[in-house]
Amino acid sequence: MEDFAQRWKPIEEMLTERFGKTPNMEAILFLIGMNELNNLKKKYSKEQKQDLMHVAVCTLLSQSGYFELEGYDKDGWPHFREVQPVPKMEMAEQEQFLKEHIIVYFNEHED
């Protein structure tokens, strides 16, 4: 668990430094989704924000082979297909699982 905390801390610090406050999980997923869409608009509808978070989750879990990028639609939105079901987890476990993938994501996408 300590190893995880040591790996998570720099990610949290980088995001806090960049945005002036520590973002919650939804905000982090939204940022990853925006990064993957690569189309920065000023405003997104509630549905688009949910779609961006879904893109983020699929992108993150594709690292572990749960999803696979199928391609992009005419508007540039990525589409994924489920390769294998994501294991059922409790909420805390699920957050830890996502954070592990977020660490890998940011380590691979460092500027």
Is the confidence at residue 41, as pLDDT, over 90?
no
Is the confidence at residue 43, as pLDDT, over 90?
no
Is the confidence at residue 80, as pLDDT, over 90?
yes
Q: Report the distance separating Cα 62 and Cα 54, nearest Å.
A: 12
Q: Is 102 helix (H, G, I), strand (E, B) or coil?
A: helix
Q: Classify residue 65 by its DSSP letter.
A: T
Residue 39 confidence (pLDDT): 72
Cα–chain center distance at 26: 9
> What is the average per-residue pLDDT within 47-57?
95
**pLDDT-derived band at 109, boundaries 50, 70, 90:** confident
pLDDT tens per residue, range 4-39 = 999 999 999 999 998 899 999 999 999 999 999 987
> What is the average per-residue pLDDT within 97-107?
96
Q: Considering the entire predicted model, what is its pTM?
A: 0.90
